[in-house]
Amino acid sequence: MLRILLLDCSENLRRRLESQGFDVESGTVGLCTGIRKLPSQVYEKDVFFYNPESLPEDRVVKKNSFKDLSPEYDLRHLEARIRDGAAFIGFVNRLSNSIDVQRCFYDWIPFVPGIEFTSDKVVHDNRFSSYPQSKANYLAPIVTPASLSIPVMQKLAPPASQEYPPDVFWLFSNGLGNCLGVQILRGEGRVIFLPRYKSNEEVVETFLNRVATRIYTLSGKSKLTDKFTSPAERTAQADGERLQSIEAELEAQQEAARVQLAAATREKVKAIEADDTATQIEVYYDLARRNDDVALYYLYKIVEAIENKFGGETEGIKAVGVGAEWKAVKKLANESYRDARHAPKPGDVIKKWTEAEIKKCFEDVGVVVNAYFSLLFPPTPDKTRP
């Protein structure tokens, strides 16, 4: 059984893991509390989680002068333990607006990459789809951008990977190609640095239940109790394999859907750009958005363009089928400009519209335009019907 050490994690997490049957202890390295307290030797552990979330009460981070309640336990053994096969998972949480203080919380960790501040709302994940990235696909259950706390506030500067075998795998990146999460292999073990998630504790549980089981294979079993598989274990293992198969199938379907959506979007743009009336509508709409003092005139021109396409108001309304919105736009424009076919001249008296009226006019034009655009595309068969 894996021996787990939680560093600066909540007691609630420890209790949850214990209730699931994990061999787990918890302690603090001292930076969050000003007091170091470790429960055992680090060379006796297999997996470490580090989740610092607060400053000491006096808000003074003391790197080497905090009170040590467990001097017999030394963190300096951590590097050797990692090289021997342990996994260290650290969550890089924003703890201070001082980069020096921020780094202080992490620079004691062996093989830690450089840390800088950032603020990224768009995060790209490693899909592990091609070699050599596919060698780290066991991490896929925790490489989920939708689960991250956005924006991501720290970026990392990991070392370059050796060519063979690869030993550095980026897990998340931002739009500039900066690293936001990474796995670094060292010796037989690894360090993994992750951005803050919506729930770091859920990621800990996911790692132990879905990732660690793939990293630490059955070949490491030595005790008779380890080698024996109980009926409950066989059932749970079968369920896990079944769910993994479903997950892989869903991922393949999602990828196919993404490709299909991208192709459909390209076809949509191509069809709209090929229609002269649609092109003119786009011009008028852009002018309406950029010229709020005469926006209503350009919104009217959008309706007029569609009207001219079909040879008159009656035929236009018949074609698009949204007469109420069509007439509402023309009515407001005519009340404001008297003759909405022409732009107002300097000195013309214009009935000012309210913000609510112009907002409703934009919405009505949107309904009319969507109805017109729909005419540019042949109806697709309903696959849900027999």
Question: Can you give the residue ranges of every domain in the chain?
Answer: 3-220, 234-273, 275-374
CB of 4 closer than 8 Å to CB of 49 = yes
What pLDDT sits at residue 349? 44
What pLDDT sits at residue 379? 74
CB of 306 closer than 8 Å to CB of 280 = no
Listed in sequence order, the DSSP H helices in the chain are 11-19, 78-83, 99-104, 200-206, 212-215, 224-227, 231-273, 276-290, 295-310, 313-320, 323-337, 355-374
Checking if the pLDDT of 369 tops 80, the result is yes
pLDDT per position as a tens digit, 293-307: 788 889 999 999 999
Of 171-185, 209-223, 333-347, the range with the lowest mean pLDDT is: 333-347
pLDDT per position as a tens digit, 69-108: 999 999 999 999 999 999 999 999 999 999 999 999 999 9
Place of tokens 């951008």: 145
What pLDDT sits at residue 291? 81
CA distances from 71 to 40, 55, 75 (A): 11, 22, 10
Residue 192: its H or E element: strand 189-195
Characterize 81-100 residue by residue with b for buried, 16 or more Cβ atoms within 10 angstroms of its Cβ, and e for exposed. Answer: bbeeebbbbbbbbbbeeeee
CB of 100 closer than 8 Å to CB of 60 = no
Of 51-60, 186-195, 197-206, 249-258, the range with the lowest mean pLDDT is: 51-60
Both tokens of residue 365? Answer: 């034009």
What pLDDT sits at residue 235? 86
What pLDDT sits at residue 342? 53
Between CA 366 and CA 360 the distance in angstroms is 10
Residue 220 binned pLDDT confidence (cut-offs 50, 70, 90): very low
Q: Is 313 exposed, middle or buried (0-12, 13-18, 19+ CB in 10 A)?
A: middle
What pLDDT sits at residue 218? 41
pLDDT per position as a tens digit, 222-232: 566 666 778 88
CB of 44 closer than 8 Å to CB of 25 = no
Rounded to the nearest 5°, which phi and psi values hold at 117?
-85, 150
Checking if the pLDDT of 341 tops 60, the result is no
Alpha-carbon dihedral sign for residues 135, 138, 139, 141: positive
pLDDT per position as a tens digit, 23-53: 999 999 988 888 899 999 999 999 999 999 9
Q: Determine the angle formed by the axes of helices 276-290 and 355-374, rounding to 10 degrees.
A: 160
Residue 15 binned pLDDT confidence (cut-offs 50, 70, 90): very high
The rounded mean pLDDT for the chain is 87
Return the CATH class of domain 3-220: alpha beta
**Closest to 190 measured CA to CA, from 212, 209, 210:** 212
Pairing between β-strand 179-186 and β-strand 168-173 as defined by DSSP bridges: antiparallel
DSSP state of 46: S
Region 166-178: mean pLDDT is 96
Between CA 71 and CA 21 the distance in angstroms is 29
CB of 115 closer than 8 Å to CB of 156 = yes
What pLDDT sits at residue 351? 54
What pLDDT sits at residue 183? 98
Between CA 150 and CA 155 the distance in angstroms is 13
Between CA 207 and CA 192 the distance in angstroms is 11
Checking if the pLDDT of 284 tops 80, the result is yes
Pairing between β-strand 152-157 and β-strand 168-173 as defined by DSSP bridges: unpaired
**Closest to 18 measured CA to CA, from 40, 35, 1, 42:** 1
Checking if the pLDDT of 355 tops 90, the result is no
Between CA 266 and CA 165 the distance in angstroms is 40
